[in-house]
Amino acid sequence: MSITNESELIGMQKVSEAIAFTLKEMCGFAKPGMTTKEVDDFGAAVLKSFGARSAPALTYGFPGCACISVDNEFCHGIPSEQRVLKEGDLINIDVSAELNGFWADNGNSFVIGKDLNKHATLVNASKEILHKAINNIKGGVKISDIGLLMETEAKRRGFKVIKNLGGHGVGKSLHEEPDELMNYRNRFDNRRFRKNTVVAIETFISTSSNIAVELKDGWTMVGNKGGYMAQHEHTIIITDGQPIILTEMNEIFN
């Protein structure tokens, strides 16, 4: 969506605050020995306290509030009473919601407890790449140039990018134009970021795979060549200068 008046800005700020706070609280809540369903139920209660509703549940009938993916699960993981978190697990929590007709999206990958399995390098790379990408986005910048930046930064660190997942416009619904804000340069994509538009920018940084494939549950995605993936995501408003990070409260850069 494009922000055209103050009421739209306030609406986007409120839904972004709701999901950012929910994500931060869920990340702090998740501990070894908990199930991903417990973490999701906790997050659902926080989101409800804002009057917000789960976007994936509303839009796609997702069987949970947030997508929670663990270890070899790349994204869209279903919260489960059977999946128990362990010390050293790589976890991704992706929270998106609707509030008063406005929609926003954010996500965070992090390690549960101690980094027993040496995932920190991947997690930090994903954060750093998202931070650099956001700092280079402004009105008029080619979308494919940001994709090139993300892929170049990933390769420089010894990682790959997932080529069939990308960021997207957001605001009046969960997924809007511009869609397919990819982590690589699509030489056929001549689109440019436009001032005052709202987009969800996200990384998909991988150790081994470059394609995400869906499991039989119809939701969870894993890598075509295995390995692990880190994702970090902010909802931003594009300006003539530095973007406004609407979901800054999630503190994923801290």
In single-letter form, the type of residue at position 71 comes to D
Query: What are the helix and strand counts (H, E) for the chain?
Result: 5, 15
Is 248 known to sit in a ligand binding site? Answer: no
Measured CA distances, 27 to 107, 197, 250 (Å): 10, 28, 9
Assess contact for 248 and 20: CB atoms under 8 A.
yes
How many Cα atoms sit within 13 Å of 128 on the Cβ side? 13
Is 233 known to sit in a ligand binding site? Answer: yes
- Structural element, H or E, at residue 233: strand 233-237
Assess contact for 109 and 253: CB atoms under 8 A.
no
Residue with tokens 């999901």: 19
Partnered with residue 119 across adjacent β-strands are none
Is 202 known to sit in a ligand binding site? Answer: yes
CB neighbour list of residue 1: distance below 8 Å, 6 or more residues apart: 8, 12, 169, 170, 171, 172, 176, 197, 198
Is 119 known to sit in a ligand binding site? Answer: no
Is 105 known to sit in a ligand binding site? Answer: yes
Partnered with residue 109 across adjacent β-strands are 92
Q: Which residues are annotated as a binding site?
A: 76, 94, 105, 168, 175, 202, 233
Q: Which residues are annotated as a binding site for substrate?
A: 76, 175
Q: Which residues are annotated as a binding site for a divalent metal cation?
A: 94, 105, 168, 202, 233
